[in-house]
Amino acid sequence: MNFIDRERPIGIFDSGIGGLTVVKRLAATLPNENLIYFGDTARVPYGSKSNSTVIEYALQDAKFLTTKNVKAIVVACNTASSVAISVLKDKYEIPIIGMIEPGTEFALKTTRNKKIGIIGTRTTTDNKAYSKALKKADKNINVFEKACPLFVPLAEEGWTKHKATYKIAEEYLAELREQNIDTLILGCTHYPILAEVIQEVIGKNVKLIDSGIAAAELVRTEIERIGLLNNSNSLGNREFYVTDIPKKFKEIAELFLSSPVKEVRKVELEDILR
């Protein structure tokens, strides 16, 4: 291993803009690392698709990132993490970091009354990825799961505080509000974009879990373990690739990363399918 190896980028993928919430956490935790983001905006949402389709897409997304010589891959999508993580880990030797494991640990450390709510896409909640992981760690945990599929298009649209977002959140979170949960896992990387609305509607006593925070720490641990932590003093590069119109993506990326995004490149789907 040499200096150049340490400078290899970390690859991050999601179905769309949601994974930017993870990029934000990674950039704060590991500012010197070079990051390459891939958003499969042509095929978003993943959360309403079958497990086999999501696995196929996740393999293609990861393959694209490996062509960029990444030293680790962050599956910044709970849907893909819930169905494809073991397939990806079997296929690649570099560290593959999903959202479920760090999010679960973070929630277990946070809860006091052991009542945890989970919101996510339909594929994530149908697969019960978080419930299984939480129960495996502590069988006395009570979980309450709810699919909130409309949150993804609202986040993609940038409707972070729109009245329609409040209305939909009221509808989705009503049942969870009755369960006396003290912790709510944002089990979709798009949801931290709507965190203000979600917090207001669920109540300020409920702690929101953004898996990206814990995932960023896990990325650090993993790349340190393989001796590839980038210890350069300069700020890392950020590159962004999407599979459909980059314009809206750029606007939203700048909003959420609170920094200018120089360029968003479009990748042709047929190139990643090859």
Cβ closer to ligand DGL: 173 or 193? 193
Q: Mask: binding to ligand DGL, 119-138, rule CB under 6 A, as x and -?
A: --x--x--------------
Decide if residue 47 touches ligand DGL (CB under 6 A). yes
Q: Nearest to ligand DGL by Cβ — which residue?
A: 47
Question: Which stretch in 60-68, 75-83, 129-137, 251-259 sits in contact with ligand DGL by CB under 6 A?
Answer: 75-83
Residue span binding ligand DGL (CB under 6 A) among the ranges 13-21, 65-73, 140-148, 162-170: 13-21
Would you call 148 a catalytic residue per the annotation?
no
Q: Is 243 in the site for ligand DGL (CB under 6 A)?
A: no
Stretch of 41-49, 59-67, 222-230, 262-270 lying at the interface with ligand DGL (CB under 6 A) = 41-49
**What does the alpha-carbon distance between residue 226 and residue 97 come to, in Å, rounded to a whole number?**
14
Max Cα distance, the chain (Å): 55
Residue number, 13 or 94, with CB nearest to ligand DGL: 13
Indicate the residue among 154 and 223 with the shorter CB distance to ligand DGL.
154
Footprint on residues 152-181 left by ligand DGL (CB under 6 A): 152
Q: Which of residues 77-116 bind ligand DGL (CB under 6 A)?
A: 77-79
Residue 179: CB minimum distance to ligand DGL, A = 22
* 192 touches 257 (CB < 8 A): no
Q: Which residues contact 267 (CB under 8 A, 6 or more apart)?
A: 38, 64, 241, 242, 243
Please identify which of the residues 12, 70, 77, 181 carries the catalytic annotation: 77
Supply the minimum distance, in Å, between the C-beta of residue 126 and ligand DGL: 12
CB of 188 to ligand DGL, least distance (A): 4
Indicate which residues carry an active-site annotation.
Answer: 77, 188
Contact residues toward ligand DGL (CB under 6 A) are 14-16, 18, 44-47, 77-79, 121, 124, 152, 188-190
